[in-house]
Structure 1
């Protein structure tokens, strides 16, 4: 008889482990062992181990917690066929994205999952999401950091929370289609990294002096100068459309130059989904406006992902050329490399 796949479930708190105590939801009160034991048929098909690393609301989770989580995952990987992390949905995508950069060259899947309804509620989604996550971690031929939620399999670096109250919860912002789904069977869309015997690589540092700034009409470049003087080592500007930012009579150009003089990296992301054909129009629409600014566009990378990635990059280098090269390179499927061959020449 073939052995059951071995899966480790790491609890960090959030709704999935919450219990009503004296009228207040307490995070992490329900242990992962209790939750696994109450999830129908899981132990019939998988050999599941559990641990409770944190007992916290994900909004309180910090980069130090991501580092602790990444180390816990890394040093457990040799003993399991897959690893599941339960976490609060509010910052699940941030934590999962951090693990994507902190542990690279994965050889098994690392699957994050959450719940929008507490386990003790009648129609809770906790059990089905946990079962799906364990199934993907134990059986899917994939070796990436994922978010599994509401029947969807999503690449962590391309995922964000999009709904606070409906069971869909998360949205996948891949270039063409989501990574996969789990219904009666596991279905995956290529390309993706498969299981292997590779040796994962652990990174143990994040630069936390990084900020995200939402650009808005009438934005004053002095706000960037204030951040640089705070000081921060880098920032992500969340621009409009394709990554557009205001540059006329607002001190933006001077502010970015000031940031450069202080060796603070300025990254430009977009506040919206760029769609399938963004490369055809990017250079004509945005490239000319940004030329000469020494700001780093990250094209179709999610701003949340850009924020976490910049932490990871700046922990390794502050050299502008190296930061730019690393921010625009795909390490975990987070960005579509820009090709000028796809520029639309139509007038």
Structure 2
């Protein structure tokens, strides 16, 4: 039989051993719940894959994913064609990724495919354009109505609050339609001496934009400004404005290298940049949480309804106004060089 001192010594030794074990456990890195499993892959899907707008979105989508040990893939179709984008989306679904960050070209055609993904357990987050009647779990965007309002205020101020203006548009693309309608609404309500005299559908084609602005300038010699909801049309519009005397102020939403050159050279009034990097980063974070709903337990009825507990109707990623003074801060090539990555190629 052990003495009282021996028993106490044994207990003390056990206590020291337990404390040491606990200390070792605290010093050992624990696997975080906010990490991807090996091979867990998230996909970004767009149309017109060569458009520069998508590149910083994917860059920050990729960064957020890599920080959490996840893989990413950039996909879509090079054409401005909803049927081809739908086909590329179906190809993505067949690989059964952990989640999809999607820019739907048109809202309604994507309702069924997004719902199909959701029913298969693949969350979809939309960005920059939405499919609001689908089962997408979140929508990340700059506020398209705010973009249109700010663009109208900027243009009206630049032309002295009075004059004729026109718009170029892409009917059917949700985010572009919102920007145009907000622009016209702001002009009507806040700048009543500004008169809308022409509209033309250019569908992101610089040649169509060039022809449209040439025709508008001939029909309306007092035309002072033209607005468009995307960057590609701005290239043709700015060329036409220059050739018709340089009196027409050109303003757009989104930027690319050529638009930045035109703004820097004073051949465009300016542009709005929708802060694409934040769009991509937040898009990934929304997807990851939606793919791992067990990480959160909100006080609502999600267990009863079976709805993913992580659902956000809209997240505003902000915007910036691009002028000749700050245009160089938005150049993709300099950004990519600074970050030392391969962009959409990785």
Q: TM-score, normalised by structure 2?
A: 0.27
Higher relative contact order (CA 8 A, sep 6+): 2
Q: TM-score, normalised by structure 1?
A: 0.27
